[in-house]
Structure 1
Amino acid sequence: MKKYILLVVIFLTGSFWSCQKPGETSTAGSTKKLSDDELLTLVQKQTFNYFWDGAEPNSGLARERYHVDGDYPQNDKHIITSGGGGFGVMAILVGMERKFISREQGRARLQKIISFLEKADRFHGAWPHWWNGETGKVKPFSKKDDGGDLVETSFMAQGLLCVRQYFKDGNAEEKQLAARADQLWKDIDFNWYRKDNENVLYWHWSPNYGWDMNFAVRGYNECLIMYVLAASSPTHGVPAEVYHQGWAENGKIVSPSEGFGYKLQLKHQGTQKNGGPLFWAHYSYLGLDPRGLKDKYADYWEENKNQSLINYTWCAQNPKKYTGYGPNNWGLTASYSVKGYSAHGPDEERDLGVISPTAALSSMPYTPEQSIRAMKYWYNNLNDKVWGPYGFYDAFSQTDNWYPQKYLAIDQGPIVVMMENHRSGLLWNLFMSAPEIQTGLKKLGFQSPHLK
Structure 2
Amino acid sequence: MTVDPADDAMLERLQRGAFEYFLKAYNPRNGLVADTMREGAPSSIAVIGFALSAYPVGIERGWMERTEAVRRSLVTLRFLMGSDQSGSAHATGYRGFYFHFLDMELGTRVWLSEVSLIDTGFLMAGVLTAATYFDADTIEERELRQLANALYRRVDWRWAQRDGGAVTHGWKPECGFLNYGWEGYSEAILLYVLGLGSPTHALTDESFPAWTVTYQWENLYGHNFLVAGPLFIHQFSHAWIDFRGIRDAFMREKDCDYFENSRRATYVQREYAMRNPRSFTGYGADCWGLSAGDGPQAEARSIAGRNQTFYGYAARGVPYGPDDGTLCGSSTLSSLVFAPELVLPALRALEARSGTNDPSLIRASGFNPTVAEAGPNGWISPGEFGLDQGMIVLMIENYRSGLPWRLGRANPFVRAGLHRAGFKGGWL
- State TM-score, norm by structure 2: 0.86
> Is residue 315–residue 327 contact of structure 1 (8 Å, CA) maintained in 2?
yes
Mapped pair 1:53 → 2:16: no
Partner of 1:71: none
Deviations 1:206-255, CA, capped at 9 Å, x for gaps: 233222x222211311111111111100111122112112x12xx342x3
Alpha-carbon RMSD: 2.1
Mapped pair 1:210 → 2:170: no
Partner of 1:379: 351
Q: What is the CA distance between 1:56 and its match in structure 2?
A: 3.4
Superposition pairs of residues 340-351 of structure 1, within 5 angstroms: 340-347=312-319, 349-351=321-323
Partner of 2:223: 262
Q: What is the CA distance between 1:311 and its match in structure 2?
A: 0.6
Rounded to whole Å, the distance in 2 between the matches of 1:88 and 1:391 is 19
Partner of 1:182: 149
> Is residue 378–residue 386 contact of structure 1 (8 Å, CA) maintained in 2?
no
Deviations 1:7-42, CA, capped at 9 Å, x for gaps: xxxxxxxxxxxxxxxxxxxxxxxxxx9711111111
Mapped pair 1:406 → 2:375: no
> Is residue 52–residue 127 contact of structure 2 (8 Å, CA) maintained in 1?
yes
Can you give the 5+ residue segments of structure 1 that lack an aligned partner in the other structure? Answer: 1-32, 68-74, 269-274
Q: What is the CA distance between 1:137 and its match in structure 2?
A: 0.8
The partner residue of 2:368 within 381, 394, 397 is 397
The partner residue of 1:282 within 224, 229, 235 is 235
Q: What is the CA distance between 1:178 and its match in structure 2?
A: 1.6
> Is residue 278–residue 333 contact of structure 1 (8 Å, CA) maintained in 2?
yes
Partner of 2:419: 442
Mapped pair 1:238 → 2:203: yes
Q: What is the CA distance between 1:170 and its match in structure 2?
A: 4.5
Q: Secondary structure at the match of 2:32?
A: coil
Q: What is the CA distance between 1:334 and its match in structure 2?
A: 0.6
Partner of 1:76: 40
Q: What is the CA distance between 1:370 and its match in structure 2?
A: 1.6
Seq. identity, %: 29
Q: Secondary structure at the match of 2:37?
A: strand
> Is residue 332–residue 346 contact of structure 1 (8 Å, CA) maintained in 2?
yes
Rounded to whole Å, the distance in 1 between the matches of 2:263 and 2:37 is 30
Note closer, same or farther for the CA distance 1:403–1:96 as it changes in structure 2 (3 Å cut): same
Q: Secondary structure at the match of 1:441?
A: helix
Deviations 1:254-288, CA, capped at 9 Å, x for gaps: x3211221111x3x4xxxxxx30111012112111
Partner of 1:134: 105
Alignment-mate amino acid for residue 237 of structure 2? S
Rounded to whole Å, the distance in 2 between the matches of 1:110 and 1:422 is 25
Partner of 2:184: 219
The partner residue of 2:63 within 93, 97, 100 is 100
Rounded to whole Å, the distance in 2 between the matches of 1:316 and 1:285 is 26
Note closer, same or farther for the CA distance 1:405–1:208 as it changes in structure 2 (3 Å cut): closer
Rounded to whole Å, the distance in 1 between the matches of 2:393 and 2:245 is 22
Mapped pair 1:358 → 2:330: yes
Rounded to whole Å, the distance in 2 between the matches of 1:37 and 1:141 is 43
Q: Secondary structure at the match of 2:286?
A: coil
Q: What is the CA distance between 1:93 and its match in structure 2?
A: 1.7
Mapped pair 1:201 → 2:167: yes
> Is residue 291–residue 448 contact of structure 1 (8 Å, CA) maintained in 2?
no
Note closer, same or farther for the CA distance 1:384–1:98 as it changes in structure 2 (3 Å cut): closer
Q: Secondary structure at the match of 1:439?
A: helix
Q: What is the CA distance between 1:48 and its match in structure 2?
A: 0.8
Note closer, same or farther for the CA distance 1:216–1:404 as it changes in structure 2 (3 Å cut): closer
> Is residue 333–residue 362 contact of structure 2 (8 Å, CA) maintained in 1?
no
Rounded to whole Å, the distance in 2 between the matches of 1:435 and 1:384 is 41
Rounded to whole Å, the distance in 2 between the matches of 1:176 and 1:448 is 35
Q: Secondary structure at the match of 1:50?
A: helix
Partner of 2:309: none
- State TM-score, norm by structure 1: 0.82
Rounded to whole Å, the distance in 2 between the matches of 1:252 and 1:115 is 39
Aligned residues: 392
> Is residue 394–residue 404 contact of structure 2 (8 Å, CA) maintained in 1?
yes
The partner residue of 1:293 within 226, 246, 257 is 246
